[in-house]
Every structure is written in C-alpha cells, then in structure tokens.
Amino acid sequence: MIDARFQQQLYFIKEIDKLKGVIRRINIMDGSRMENTAEHSWHIALMAAVLAEHSKEKIDLLRTIKMLLVHDIVEIDAGDTFAYDKDHQKSKQERETKAAARLFTILPIDQAKEYRALWNEFEGRTTPEAKFAVAMDRLLPLMQGYALNGKVWRENGVKQSHVLEHQKQIMHGSETIWNYCEQIINDSIVNGYLNP
C-alpha cells in the first residue's frame, strides 16, 4: 500500500505535467514552433548550471536550480504572461499568488513550505540566488528574440525602451551577462530587429 506522503508527491508530479501544455508567446530558437513553459524552465535551469561562474555573487547552485524549476509552476493555473503585455501584467501577481496557494499545497507540508519559499524568494529578487535566477529567466527570451531576428518584438510593437526596462534586472545577477544583453540589444537595433 502507498502511504499518504507518497500519494501527495505523485499527485503533484502528475499535476505539474500540465506545465508542458502552457504555450508561451515566443518560438524556440530555430523558429519551428512555440515554446512551452516546461521547456523554458528546464532550459534556464541548465543555463544556470552552465553560467553560474558569471554570477555577481557566490550562489548555492542547487538552490538556484530548484528555484528555476519551480518559479513558473504557477503558470499551470495563471497562464503565461507575456513580458510586454501591460494589461495582462496588471493581474499577474494576483493570478500567480492564487495559483501558488493551490499548487504548492498539493505537496506534503515540508515540501510545500520549501517550494513555496523558493517561489517567494524568486519573486522577491533579493538573495544572490534569486538575482541570478531572474537573470537566467530574462536572458533566454532575449536570446530567442535575437535568434529570430526580433520577430516577437516586431509583431508586438516592442521597442528598445521596453526591452531595456524588462532586462535591467539582469545587471543585479551578473555583470558579464548584462554586458552581453546590451550587445544583443544594440545589435538588434542596428539590424532593424528592434525599434529604438
């Protein structure tokens, strides 16, 4: 017989499978299809492992990776909120907080507390791990937009000022990565991918 704790964990694992069905508003880098949120979370977690040496401050890499793997789970209920959709951004915090309350409490109490704390830490953006995690979360869509010659930016009327405003969080997590982002943004303007 399966004990209650294991049943809760299995139910959570089944529930998070739904993240694979949350489609984001950006294509994967080869442009062949839209990305789903589970792919995004996996990709930025691996990016953190590869790029950890560029963190502005020393980080606990395992904690950072766990944070990146749980930070978008709330999109199962709240959906993906496109970074440049000002109207949808207004309700994002409320929708995601409600989703976190439901989703993390599926787990046994100790794990629910741990994963909710990681989600809150990411949202708070004050610890070295959260700052670096946010940098990874912002870097990937910028790289995707650039790889696709600004397709998502042009289709949504996104300008340089919008991208700079959204990406500035990166500088708190990594100077090296921020410098790279500035290069991408400047090159995107020169190539006409992004309007100044």
If you search the block for the tokens 């991408």, which residue do you land on? 184
Report domain extents, the chain: 4-190
pLDDT in tens, 76-92: 999 999 888 888 889 99
Q: What's the pLDDT at 57?
A: 98
Q: What's the pLDDT at 39?
A: 97
If you search the block for the tokens 């299809």, which residue do you land on? 33
Q: What's the pLDDT at 65?
A: 98
Indicate the CATH number of 4-190 among 3.40.640.10, 1.10.3210.10, 3.40.50.300, 3.40.50.2300.
1.10.3210.10
**Tokens read off for 123:** 């949202």
Q: What's the pLDDT at 84?
A: 87
Assign 159 to helix, strand or coil.
strand
Q: What's the pLDDT at 164?
A: 93
Q: Are 175 and 137 in contact (CB under 8 A)?
A: no
Q: Which amino acid is at 30?
A: D
Whole-number average pLDDT of the chain:
96
Q: What's the pLDDT at 29?
A: 96
What is the spatial distance between Cα 68 and Cα 109, in angstroms, rounded to a whole number?
A: 21
Backbone angles phi, psi at 112, to 5 degrees: -60, -45
- Tell me the three-class secondary structure of 62-83, residue by residue: HHHHHHHHHCCCCHHHHCCCCC
- Per-residue pLDDT band at 104 (split at 50, 70, 90): very high
Mean pLDDT throughout 28-49? 97
Mean pLDDT throughout 88-116? 96
Q: Which long-range contacts link 18-22 to residues 24+ away (Cβ below 8 Å)?
A: 18/76, 19/72, 19/73, 19/75, 19/76, 22/75, 22/76, 22/79, 22/80
Q: Which amino acid is at 121?
A: E
What is the spatial distance between Cα 79 and Cα 94, in angstroms, rounded to a whole number?
A: 12
Q: What's the pLDDT at 166?
A: 92
Q: What's the pLDDT at 1?
A: 73
